Amino acid sequence: MGGVREVRGVCPLDCQDSCAWIAHVEDGRVVRVTGDRDHPVTRGSLCAKVKDYETRTYAPDRLLHPLRRVGPKGSGAFRRVGWDEAIALVADRFADIIASDGPEALLPHSFLGSMGVVQRRSLMRLFHALGASRPVGSVCGNAGNVIAADGHVLGFDPEDMAEARFALVWGANPLTTCHHNWHFIAEARRRHGARIVCIDPVRTRTARAADEHVVIRPGTDWALAAGLGRIVLAEDLGDRADADARAVDLDAYTAQVEPWTPERVSEVCGVEAATVVRLAREFGEARPALLRAGIGVQQSVGGDAVVRALSALTIVAGHWRHRGGGLFIESYPDLPDARAARPDLLAGDPRSLDIARLGDVLTDPTLDPPVRGLMVWGANPATVQTDAARVRAGLAREDLFTVVIEHFLTDTARYADVVLPSTTQLEHLDVQGSWGHHYISANLPAIAPLGEARTHGDIMRALAAALGLDDPRLEQTDEEIAASALPDGLTLEEVQASGWVKRSPTPAPVRPVRLVHEPPHLTQTPPGMLQLLTPKAHHLLNSSFANMPRHRAAMQEPTLELHPGDAAARGLVDGDPVEVRNAGATVRARLHVSDDTSSGVAVLVGKWWSADVGGTGINGLAPAAWSPGGQPAYNETFVDVVAAGSRAAPDHATVPAAP
């Protein structure tokens, strides 16, 4: 019997915190995972999702061996095979597809199931070498990406949030989604008396902890931002000279927001006119004010315009002049991790396909060549993507050869021809950054891989060899892949020795940006329908952990929240089993009646798997709708709610929103 060994690591999930943790190993088994108290941002606390991450590694339903499909796609019928057979099958099918349709008929599809460099990037080396179609876009916050590409700054060092004198938390719920952000906001309240105001259509954990909760009609954020900006300018609360230096169209912006009086904003947004005036003055007069926005405000057809409007508000108010002031949506360390994918392996210029439109990509009869080979890792598109019904229709194609690399038999994995078992974070080496702070972290393997699970680097090397690809970049070890992502002057050994290293990006010079976004889009709900919001769950991360017993016990079951007035109008009472419907899909849930939810809004928290909600999952309700910049418009989903077993169903899924 040995003692307890402590191994440093980092949470791999798609979260801004990238929490440092310590795996406690006893007799070759991880017995618990705890937060690392020494980390300057995450400070020893882990969230409700990962505080027992070891149960994911040791879960009885975890995939530990390669599988080959033996039943219809989607049925989940597989037989166990060895790695040699699995690798040979994948390599042979990929080679056949390249021979018949060309390499662009192959498509890799991944997202942030792991933010580790090796797990996220290494397989792209294979597809770059093959000349496959290139995945572009984002299934999450692409509106922010579009506005950032236009020169807008979307974040800063979150440790500086503690210097704010006023915090406007807009469409974000950090106490559930990235609670270490909240530490710094709360510190600003303790140290400087900063008032915290939360703007959200739902009374979230963060809204309850704030000093004030302002309820907004979802999809009208642009109008409120315009109204606040109008008052800041009209009352000269900001710094005109600074705004002139940062904007190319300040006069045009002033003209655009001029019609948005407090009264008009109130009519559109459902926020009292007096509250609009008071918020504008508080935000404009604070030195500085923080505007902490979330991903949810981006997820509409007007998401691009909303992000630009929020950025414009911080610019005209002059908050970027001060430490702790400005807009914070995301922020990254200096970690050029995309180079670990070795785009220099590309010999030509293959086409790009939008991962956010996977349903379109897989079902478009005009796509030439059609996607015939698909590999999915770090993602569960059958559950989490908008237009999920079409995604599943594409995955069900008999002429599509699909490989899924996973820990569990997810909704997506059930459509695979081959499933390959992946290591969990406790079983491999990796490095990663964050999209919410400036630290690069090392993850050290606490135990050897269970069963036959392999790292994504191992899988890349095996497939490259089976396909006859002879290139030293396809033979590099996981250590070499991880090291290749680090900024110049930083070694893997240094990061491993300390656990983390702070590497703030070099501030870009001020670049004047465009504040006006045409045309602004305001969501309108069709008569008789409810706008469906599907915010992040406290115990799930998108669809991750929806199969884990503790998380399921905490969540209990899929729950739909309705305002008392909306429930009464439908003859429903608290606890009723209900169906949430539109022409796209029907899902089942248990009704919870609460005034935490705005009138006209239905809230279904978490991305439950189909086994729990039925049909094509919650996002089967979501439309094939995107912003002009490619932001998936999850919040443009309109539904009716009826008692379970009712026959009537609406004859439309969505109605185009008026500008």
Parent domain of 286: 155-328
Both 230 and 287 in a single domain?
yes
DSSP 466-479: HTT---GGGT--HH
Residues 313 and 343 in one domain: no
In sequence order, what are the beta bridge partners of 9? 21
Q: Which of 328, 362, 393 is the last residue of a domain?
A: 328
Residue 411 belongs to domain with CATH number? 3.40.50.740
Quickly count: other Cβ atoms within 10 Å of residue 461's Cβ: 22
Please check whether residue 453 lies inside any domain of the structure: yes
Q: What is the pLDDT of residue 1?
A: 56
Pair 110, 257 in one domain: no
Q: Are 387 and 585 in contact (CB under 8 A)?
A: no
Pick the last residue of a domain from 39, 57, 75: 57
194 shares its domain with 319: yes
Q: Specify if 655 maps to a domain.
A: no
Beta strand 78-80 with 67-69 is antiparallel
Residue 208: CA count within 13 A, CB half-sphere: 8
CATH classification at residue 34: 3.30.200.210
Q: How many CB atoms lie within 10 A of CB 549?
A: 11
The answer to whether residues 235 and 99 belong to one domain is: no
Assign 519 to helix, strand or coil.
coil
Strand, helix or coil at 592? strand
262 and 181 inside one domain: yes
Query: Of the candidates 211, 445, 158, which has an alpha carbon nearest to the alpha carbon of residue 325?
Result: 158
Q: Are residues 80 and 105 in the same domain?
A: yes
Distance from C-alpha of 214 to C-alpha of 240, rounded to nearest angstrom: 28
For the chain, what is the radius of gyration of the CA atoms?
Answer: 25
Q: What is the pLDDT of residue 647?
A: 59
Alpha carbons 602 and 250: distance in angstroms, whole number:
38
pLDDT of residue 658: 28
274 in the same domain as 179: yes
- What is the SS3 string spanning 477-504? CHHHHHHHCCCCCCCHHHHHHHCEEECC
Q: What is the pLDDT of residue 92?
A: 99
Helix (H) / strand (E) element for 186: namely helix 179-192
Alpha helices in 38-81 (DSSP H): 54-57
Q: What total number of domains does the chain contain?
A: 4
Ranges of residues in the chain with a pLDDT under 70 are: 1, 647-659
* CA dihedral for 161, 166, 167, 170, sign (positive or negative): negative
Q: How far apart are the first and last CA of the chain?
A: 69
pLDDT digits (tens, 9 = 90+) for 47-104: 999 999 999 999 999 999 999 999 999 999 999 999 999 999 999 999 999 999 999 9
Does the residue 520 lie in any domain? no
